[in-house]
Amino acid sequence: MSSYRKPHPDNWTGRKSGNALYLHEKVECTAIEDTGSHPSQKTIAILGYACDEGVRRNQGRIGAAEGPDAIRKQLGKMPNHLSPEVRLIDVGSVECPDGDMEAAQNSLSEKIVDLLSARTIPIVLGGGHDIAYGHYNGIKKHLGSPASIGIINFDAHFDLRDDENGNNSGTPFYQIAQNNASEGHPLNYLCLGIRRDANDSQLFQTAEKFGVDYVESEGFNTSSWASIEKILRQFIDEMDHLYVTIDMDGFSSAYVPGVSAPSPMGFSPDIVLKCLKTFIESGKLISLDIAEMNPTYDIDSHTAKLAASLTHYALHSMTGK
Ligand SMILES: N=CN[C@@H](CCC(=O)O)C(=O)O
Ligand SMILES: [Mn+2]
Ligand SMILES: [Mn+2]
């Protein structure tokens, strides 16, 4: 069984301006069932996926269940540059109290359907990368078909492990590929930042088999922008909708110590921002998540702050600021 925790105002504190200069003063804590539909207003909905059961099953270091609140706490202190007519709502978190990750993923997918039906733009904060399976299923259910959904994953890892031994944080894109294949659809999957020293040859073969597009870590930097941009544009052109998932462990651990599987040779924030800008400007981004933030291993909140900065960037640029 999974559970749903309503949003908590204690996660949203900071300097007080009395004039909505900070995001904690802008955000509305709203239970998901009270979200309503405000078609005339752009609304960004923050939802948590407070689950690290997939990480535990994948032999990783737990702690990511505390990720969503750690990110909220940093985000709330940041300046608000949103237009007054844009809404920012916190709709609480899906939890996984008894290790039933599948129930948490189902619950996440239902909440994504609700949020997309209410015409909000969801930003989901994790939690292990099993977030991607629930998140994608919600988008797919909302749209009615996986045909036109492109998945973009910023990650050191493919997360294409087969699920013979069960589902976990390393299997989400394999599960999606299997489901899509059984319905006669391909896996439309672009992975940015893949590390050769973090994915075995079987994973590269699986990527080959499913026709996955990927950019390896060595070439995932701003100096290689011309060739990266070409890959991005080709992928964007072939898709109607983009689902972006950012696994924090893809960043170099110099930026991001607070993850289960740190990447000393990982990528830098500047290339991720450049790519994100391209995806957002395409007008096709339907939903976004940030995965694998683990406060247990964070240092001076660097990881939570970077995750919050990415969220800050996304929510402003998706609403025209
Ligand atoms: N979601 C993370 N998946 C990685 C974890 C790698 C590790 O624990 O070192 C994977 O299974 O490949
Ligand atoms: Mn991952
Ligand atoms: Mn990863």
For 78-134, write each residue's pLDDT tens digit. Answer: 999 999 999 999 999 999 999 999 999 999 999 999 999 999 999 999 999 999 999
Instruction: Among 260, 290, 297, say which to mutate for ligand 1: greatest number of ligand atoms within 8 Å of CB.
Output: 260
pTM: 0.98
HSE (CB half, 13 Å, CA atoms) of 280? 20
Is the distance from CB of 107 to CB of 4 less than 8 angstroms? Answer: yes
Q: How far apart are CA 162 and CA 167, in angstroms?
A: 8
Residue closest to 67 by CA, chosen among 258, 268, 206: 258
Rounded to the nearest angstrom, the distance between the alpha carbon of 74 and the centre of ligand 2 is 22
Three-state secondary structure along 288-308? Answer: EEEECCCHHHCCCCHHHHHHH
Rounded to the nearest angstrom, the distance between the alpha carbon of 37 and the centre of ligand 3 is 35
60 lines ligand 1 (CB under 6 A): yes
Residue closest to 125 by CA, chosen among 261, 203, 33, 11: 11
* pLDDT given at position 143: 98
3-317: CATH topology: Arginase; Chain A (3.40.800)
Q: Give the phi and the psi of residue 49 in degrees, each rounded to 5.
A: -120, 90
ipTM: 0.98
**129-175 confidence digits (pLDDT tens):** 999 999 999 999 999 999 999 999 999 999 999 999 999 999 999 99
Residue linked to tokens 């990368």: 129
